[in-house]
Chains A and B, each alone.
Chain A
Amino acid sequence: NAGVTQTPKFQVLKTGQSMTLQCAQDMNHNSMYWYRQDPGMGLRLIYYSASEGTTDKGEVPNGYNVSRLNKREFSLRLESAAPSQTSVYFCASSGTDRGENQPQHFGDGTRLSIL
């Protein structure tokens, strides 16, 4: 009953280091998403993948890259981490039922600090 699994749960980086956040879902969902959440704020969409083989930018894509490795996995990469990227990162996925998009399911987040 895993749902959406994110790894790692916590990470501390130094400015300039690179890092890949992993996300996997076991619900056979087509769509996957990466959000970030800063203290006291709602979630903001970084990138999304409507289906396997496609990715698109969300609200705040600068400084990030993504890879939809297969239907299950969607990774988020920080090539050169900056302190402004300190945040909690959430991965989500959603499927369709008779052509209608279903609500998103979220992982428990990766807490990333950049010094």
Chain B
Amino acid sequence: DAKTTQPPSMDCAEGRAANLPCNHSTISGNEYVYWYRQIHSQGPQYIIHGLKNNETNEMASLIITEDRKSSTLILPHATLRDTAVYYCIVRLRPTDSWGKLQFGAGTQVVVTP
């Protein structure tokens, strides 16, 4: 699976959009980008995933560049409850792999009032 690079930390003001970058320059054509987050003392929580098209769900939006070498997770209106470590993970498409995930260090996001 491709390696990902994320900034170690970032701050965001409550009510504003949070844009979390992730570089995955060695991604291959059959690898998906997944985002999870981990709120302190809890288990990781799935947010969103995508292959090459932009994706949106009730939690967030995922923007993947045309060359697929990077992506951005967007939390449209950050709240204090969005303070967490956010993990960007690249892995084989779901039909090729039963589901193994490789977590890096992630980005610590702090939402401030």
Interface set of A (CB-CB < 8 Å, partner B): 4, 31, 33, 35, 40-45, 48, 50, 58-59, 90, 92, 94, 99-109
Q: Mark B79-113, 1 if CB is under 8 A from A, else 0.
A: 00000000100000011011111111110000000
Q: Quick check: A104 and B99 within 8 Å, CB to CB?
A: yes
B49 is an interface residue with CB less than 8 A from chain A: yes
Do A107 and B49 contact each other (CB < 8 Å), given the known contacts A44-B103, A48-B100? no
B62 to chain A, nearest CB (A): 13
**Assuming A42-B106, A48-B100, A101-B99, is B43 touching A109 (CB within 8 A)?**
yes
Give every chain A residue within 8 A of B34 (Cβ-Cβ). Answer: 103
* Alpha-carbon separation in the docked complex, A45 to B91 (Å): 14
Q: Is the CB of B103 within 8 A of A104?
A: no
Question: Quick check: is B45 within 8 A (CB to CB) of the other chain?
Answer: yes
- In the assembled complex, the CB of A98 is this many whole angstroms from the nearest CB of chain B, namely 10
For the complex, what is the distance from the CA of A41 to the CA of B45, rounded to whole Å? 16
Q: Identify which of A40, A101, A105 contacts B98 (C-beta below 8 A).
A: A101
Check B43 against A99 for contact (C-beta < 8 Å). no
B98 with A108: CB separation less than 8 A: no
The one of A4, A35, A40, A101 in contact with B95, judged by C-beta atoms closer than 8 angstroms, is: A101
Q: Could you tell me if B43 and A100 are in contact, using CB atoms closer than 8 angstroms?
A: no
Q: Smallest Cβ distance from B5 to chain A, in angstroms?
A: 13
B44 part of interface (Cβ distance < 8 Å): yes
